[in-house]
A and B are shown apart, each in its own frame.
Chain A
Amino acid sequence: MMRLELVKRPQRSALFSMLSPFIAFALTIIAGAIMFALLGVNPLNAFHIYFIEPISQVWQLHELAIKAAPLILIAVGLSVCYKANIWNIGAEGQFIFGAIFGSIIPVLFPQFEGPLVLPLMLLLGMVGGAAYAAIPALLKTRFSTNEILTSLMLVYVAQLFLDWLVRGPWRDPQGHGFPQTIQFGDSAVLPELMPDAGRANWGFVFALVAAVLIWILMGRMLKGFEVRVLGSSPRAGRFAGFGLNRMVFFAFLLSGALAGLAGISEVSGAIGQLQPVISPGYGFTAIIVAFLGRLNPLGIVAAGLVLALTYLGGEAVQSALGISDKVARVFQGMLLFFVLGCDTLIHYRIRLIGLALTKQEAPAKLEAAPKLKEAR
């Protein structure tokens, strides 16, 4: 019988702090190879289709940017929450409400056109996401209700609300009964960055800007310091005069607004109308992105691109090998698992101990005992 033992490092290991995402990625590849082999597919072939082919042409890189944009936008917001030890896991719902709020103009007032439309939509999207995120924040600060459960429950409510909207009051009367709103007018569509090369739109730019802004906020400003102090030691934070309740609101509203922006950008840029389902689980995948990026906005940009690739790869193996595209979700889940496991290496050394060894160690422990007394 083997046993794992954790030995605390005197200080956090800078080496493993940098290496851990890469080790995690390598472990995911190994586990993925086993999985593909079990499915009866040549792993090398599968990996080529999964990770290389989807990004071998310029237009495909644009598709990658389209998938990465919402992931990065949501994840940088979540990273602030998680740094502050506040667990917003309902970004999926905030994404949906951002999309709904932002769509008010193109759906209800399609005759309103001009350069003002888009900025207003984006603003409304952020308001919608933030407003929806304010609910768990309010319940947490006012009634100390667990924000994990409330924010998650509200995801289901948001999905059902969107479903009702596009099947009911917001349905396109000329849509042949399809559950969808009217197509957004030209001035309500997020422009593409380089229309000749591919479909990527301004959403990706928003994501990069948000990442840089949050990076500055967290590293260079007092608010970022406040987030970190309250996250690692709420008591110390209270003594420093940082309000925990204000922080809960700050983190939820910020992450909600970014998720909302992601929602309206996705609907306005990539889809062009509201549908019953507008997200392949971006709000949940962004949790993985946040952790894989070590809760660091710049790391999150890289992690967002990797996770976006898992989506594209999932679609690719589905069409090429006939494997369910759920394989993407499996990859994402494994990646998070391994990242969390590898993070242990930052603070601990891992020792494997067999039973025989433990017996030999026993006398050593006895010897150590008197020394302990001396030390006292």
Chain B
Amino acid sequence: MDITVNILLTIATAATPLLIAAIGELVVERSGVLNLGVEGMMIMGAVGGFGAGYLTGSPWIGLLAAIIMGAVFSLLFAVMTLSLATNQVATGLSLTLLGLGLSGMIGTRFVGQPGVRLPNLDIPGLSSLPIVGRLLFGQDPVFYISIALTAAVMWFLFKTRTGLTLRSIGDSHTSAHALGIKVIRYRYLAVIFGGACAGLAGGHLSLVYTPQWVENMSAGRGWIALALVVFASWRPWRVLAGAYIFGAVWIGQLHAQAFGIPVPSQMLSSLPYLATVVVLVLISRDKRLTMMNTPASLGQPFVPDR
């Protein structure tokens, strides 16, 4: 029983960064912007979070720094694609490349340094309940944030007027603009929100998952988060499900490696990436379904005529 609980806990820890980054990107894409820079913003959040935590000794300041780092970094993308109407695919890619380089440079002095870890929640009485205690009341704070964030985004997108406006912009920026909606302003806010989420996800990696700084420690999670959004056909609760499936794959291959299954460890390590490809194929097989769900102006630059 304890083993099951432990495995479930590690799955949640592996799924949390994927979930947060994907939820952020979902909001961005719902507004009609495709930001391929998730990986870059995430790694910047990771290095910023680790750095601030290491220098101040407080993991909470680290977490805050991670969020700010991601948001500020996404602002670069926002200025380029929204104010200068650059190609979103190319700009997103360059954000990722820049983030990987910049984080490596900033992080040189952090390599091998001991980090700080966010403490797990501990509610006297509740956290020590058998089985459910640790699952529900004894996890790291970011886990609770991720769940709350998913619920909040669900509510925001589908139950509020602002959310409806955001979705309308994603479906047709020209119509939204003609109705007097500030398309560019909405998109700026969406992109920055996405950046803050990616930063938070990175902070989780370097402050909870493995409290240390390793170069390229995001290991493609930003890209998997992007795939999750497609997999979830732009619906928050499906992102949640997808993130936990991928968390399970990630943990599953780690456990398989630890048990010494006679399969090369590299093959097991490539499972999450292969799974992403397979899942993408399965979900995009039905062309009509994808067409129906994709925000119609996703990835197209918008220059308001005045």
Chain A residues with CB under 8 Å of chain B are 4-6, 8, 82, 87, 89, 139, 143-146, 148-150, 152-154, 156-157, 160-161, 163-164, 167-168, 284-285, 287-288, 291, 323-324, 326-334, 336-337, 340-341, 343-344, 348, 350
Contact = CB atoms under 8 A, between A and B. Distances in A.
B105 A330 contact: yes
Contacts of A330: 98, 101-102, 105
A256 to B, nearest CB: 16
Interface residues of B, number: 46
A340 B94 CA distance: 9
Contact of A324 (B100, B104, B284): B104
Given A6-B84, A148-B89, 19 more contacts: A87-B89, A89-B93, A146-B230, A146-B280, A148-B36, A149-B230, A149-B277, A157-B270, A160-B267, A287-B90, A287-B93, A326-B104, A326-B105, A328-B101, A329-B97, A333-B102, A334-B98, A337-B98, A344-B85
Contacts of B306: 5
Interface-central residue, B90, B223, B264, by most chain A CB under 10 Å: B90
A168 B262 CA distance: 13
12 contacts: A87-B89, A139-B281, A149-B276, A153-B223, A160-B270, A167-B266, A285-B97, A329-B98, A329-B102, A334-B98, A337-B76, A341-B86
A144 B282 CA distance: 10
Contact of B87 (A148, A160, A164, A340): A340
Contacts of A145: 277, 280-281, 284
Interface string B248-273: 00000000000000001011011001
B300 interface: no
A46 B274 CA distance: 43
Contacts, number: 141
Given A326-B104, A329-B101, A157 B94 contact: no
Contact of B94 (A139, A160, A288, A344): A288
B104 A4 contact: no
B83 A4 contact: yes
Contacts of B80: 337, 340-341
Nearest to B282: A143
Interface string B96-113: 011111101100100000
B299 to A, nearest CB: 10
A284 B252 CA distance: 30
Interface-central residue, A89, A329, A343, by most chain B CB under 10 Å: A329
B303 A6 contact: yes
A337 B223 contact: no
B290 interface: yes
Closest 9 pairs (CB-CB, A-B)? A329-B101, A333-B98, A326-B104, A164-B266, A336-B94, A326-B105, A160-B266, A324-B108, A330-B101
Contact of B266 (A153, A161, A284, A341): A161
Contacts of A152: 220, 223
A324 B111 CA distance: 12
Interface-central residue, B76, B101, B102, B270, by most chain A CB under 10 Å: B101
B230 A164 contact: no
Contacts of A156: 219-220, 270, 273
A153 B102 contact: no
A35 B97 CA distance: 17
Contact of A160 (B89, B230, B269): B269
A160 B101 CA distance: 21
Interface of B: 36, 76, 80, 83-87, 89-91, 93-95, 97-102, 104-105, 108, 219-220, 223, 226-227, 230, 264, 266-267, 269-270, 273-274, 276-277, 280-281, 284-285, 287, 290, 303, 306
Contacts of A327: 101, 105
Contacts of B230: 146, 149
Q: Is the interface of B mostly helix, strand, loop or mixed?
A: helix
Nearest to A347: B85
Contacts of B99: 333
B258 to A, nearest CB: 17
Given A324-B104, A326-B104, A288 B273 contact: no
Contact of B303 (A8, A87, A333): A8
Contacts of A291: 90
B86 A329 contact: no
A143 to B, nearest CB: 5
A336 B86 CA distance: 12
Contacts of A324: 104-105, 108
Given A144-B287, A336-B97, A149 B226 contact: yes
B237 to A, nearest CB: 21
A96 B226 CA distance: 24
A149 B276 CA distance: 9
Contact of B85 (A6, A87, A154): A6
A328 B105 CA distance: 9
B94 A143 contact: no
B255 to A, nearest CB: 18
Given A145-B280, A348-B85, A332 B101 contact: yes
A323 B266 CA distance: 32
Interface-central residue, A161, A163, A167, A344, by most chain B CB under 10 Å: A344
